């Protein structure tokens, strides 16, 4: 089936440094998402993105977070600066149309971020 690729799969970074998580969504999809899963907890919605803009974000999407998809390339999540509580697995997803309208969200395998 359709694949969402995430790079890197794992990253260890010093607190205060910047990190960029990359997502290669399904090729014809238009809606993009990031979810965060802290160890032992559920996946939580961070942000969705459509037509070059953030449509909705949760309270977990701190000011240090940003997303973009320049020129149809990777959909990225940037954290600058990182904090210890940013340690989590970050899942990217994409959908052809609005995911809440019953249209399937396709997820990547996650990027495990460890902030030390």
Residue ranges binding another protein (CB under 8 A): 1, 4, 31, 33, 35, 41-45, 48, 55-56, 58, 91, 95, 98-102, 104-110
Strands 44-50 and 53-57: antiparallel
Shortest CB 81 distance to another protein, Å: 27
Shortest CB 53 distance to another protein, Å: 11
Q: How far apart are CA 54 and CA 78, in angstroms?
A: 14
- Cβ(43)–Cβ(36) under 8 Å? yes
Name which of 48 and 82 has its Cβ closer to another protein. 48
Shortest CB 16 distance to another protein, Å: 28
Shortest CB 62 distance to another protein, Å: 17
Which parts of 14-50 are beta strand (E)?
19-24, 31-37, 44-50
Name which of 79 and 105 has its Cβ closer to another protein. 105
Name which of 9 and 80 has its Cβ closer to another protein. 9
Quick one: tokens of 100? 């809440």
| Phi and psi, residue 16, nearest 5° | 95, -20
């Amino acid at each position: 089936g359709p694949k969402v690729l995430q790079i890197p799969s794992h990253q260890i970074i010093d607190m205060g440094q910047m990190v960029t998580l990359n997502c290669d969504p399904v090729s014809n999809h238009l809606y993009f998402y990031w979810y965060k899963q802290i160890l032992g907890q559920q996946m939580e919605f961070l942000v969705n993105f459509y037509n070059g803009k953030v449509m909705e974000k949760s309270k977990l999407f701190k000011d240090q977070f940003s997303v973009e998809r320049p020129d149809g390339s990777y959909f990225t999540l940037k954290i600058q600066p990182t904090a210890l509580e940013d340690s989590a697995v970050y899942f990217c997803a994409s959908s052809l149309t609005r995911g809440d309208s019953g249209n399937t969200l396709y997820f990547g395998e996650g990027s495990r971020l460890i902030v030390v």
